[in-house]
Amino acid sequence: MAAFSNPVAYERWMGRWSRRLAPALVAFADPPNGARLLDVGSGTGALSLALVECVADAMVIGIEPAEAYVSHSRAQIANSRLRFQVGDALDISFDDDSFDSTISLLILQELPDAPLALKEMRRVTRPGGTVAASQWDFAHGLPMLGLFWDTVLEVAPSEIAYRVANNTLQVDHPDDVALQKLWHDTGLVEVETARHTVDMTFSSFEDYWTPFLGNVTPTSSYVGTLAADKAAEIKRLLQQKTVGDEPDQPFILQADAWAVRGTVP
């Protein structure tokens, strides 16, 4: 499995779309002005930046386990109300009730124990504070990946085994009902969900295809495991599906994400 160690490649793979989604999650979570906020799994800083830009006088801490991403975020985002540090979502190194809101963007789906992470998020959030998160709707709302895996299966049907083994099939990731249940089971109240849509605007087919060669995540590393002829056929079919017989040109794939929030009683 590829390590999350190349923040520049991750920006092309998913970070640029996180930046489009983050403001919607901030508006939905609705943290108060002047709040002390924690961004769990801050990655390359999309949510943390949206929090300091959208919440007046907020103080934001972003925690992220990958040191390379923390260093990248520090170098790219300079703001006196924001700091990044290495931290584990499954063992958050802050005292109980340390934050007014704790928020996570696209991290629950990556964790081996999402319920434990949510318990930690609740623990460090004060009573009356908000715990919120979002994740892509893999089953129905992420054609960027859906197109890719459907095409892989056209070229190499046996690859279904790879998808299951590496958790890239995504059919059983939580929908809004499952997310509500997870929030309720963690003891949060006033639980609500929302669906957010962003446009993934690709400047060309190569802009879409190149991140699949980036070796950033298991999915973006996968093409490199294939024989050259299969990889070439997948690329050809994907280009046909996205831009057809026309010259390479910009195109848009819409992506949906579920957001959930709840209050610490």
pLDDT (tens place) for every residue of the chain, 265 residues total = 345 678 999 999 999 999 999 999 999 999 999 999 999 999 999 999 999 999 999 999 999 999 999 999 999 999 999 999 999 999 999 999 999 999 999 998 888 899 999 999 999 999 999 999 999 998 778 999 999 988 988 898 765 545 544 444 443 456 788 899 999 999 999 999 999 999 999 999 999 999 999 888 878 888 988 899 999 999 999 999 999 988 889 999 999 999 999 999 9
pLDDT at 215 (0 to 100) = 85
Set out the domains of the chain in order of their start, with CATH numbers.
Answer: 7-263 (3.40.50.150)
pLDDT at 179 (0 to 100) = 93
Please provide the size of the chain in residues: 265
- Contact (CB, 8 A) for 121 and 131: yes
pLDDT at 221 (0 to 100) = 85
Where are any strands of DSSP class E within the chain?
A: 36-40, 59-64, 82-86, 99-105, 125-136, 189-202, 251-263
C-alpha span between 136 and 217 (Å, rounded) = 16
pLDDT at 131 (0 to 100) = 98
Q: Which of 198, 224, 190 is nearest to 209 (CA)?
A: 224
Q: Which of 225, 186, 206, 208 is nearest to 102 (CA)?
A: 186
- Contact (CB, 8 A) for 40 and 89: yes
